[in-house]
Amino acid sequence: MRTTETITLTPIGHVESRFAEPVASEEMRRHPSRLVLRPDLAEGLDGLAAGDWLVVLFYFHRAQGYELRRYPRGDTSQPMRGVFALRSQYRPNPIGFTVARIEAVEGNVVHVSGLDALDGTPLLDIKPYVSFFDSDSAGG
């Protein structure tokens, strides 16, 4: 596959949160959110439970364009950095990533805490967070 080929993804659901407009990530993470999966995918939640941690991948649907260099979090007192060294939503592929804690699973809805996504954000995937694979203690 060439790196210039187009990839098409279909959302598995969407986020429901109290935030319709962007605010600081820390503020968003303090409030509960819901991951609402398409009903035909609900069976895929089997095995998830309250207290588990998830990696949530989502599409920054409101991000417009990107810059290859930015100030971290818009803070001009810091030196500019490359977009791939930042967690900015303004990226060539506006994909977000957050680790969130499951509070409850009800049908096709996963109640989570610690998510920093806007209401209506399309979900691309969710995966269990496994410290053996997902942390620096994995021998990396």
In angstroms, rounded to a whole number, what is the distance separating the alpha carbons of residues 117 and 135? 22
User: Is domain 34-131 annotated with CATH 2.70.70.10?
Assistant: no
What are the extents of the domains in the chain? 34-131
What's the pLDDT score for residue 4?
Answer: 80
**Cα–Cα dist 88/68, whole Å:** 11
pTM: 0.88
DSSP summary character for residue 140: -
Q: Splitting the chain (140 residues) into consecutive groups of 10 residues, what average pLDDT does each group show?
A: 84 97 91 98 98 97 90 92 90 93 98 97 96 68
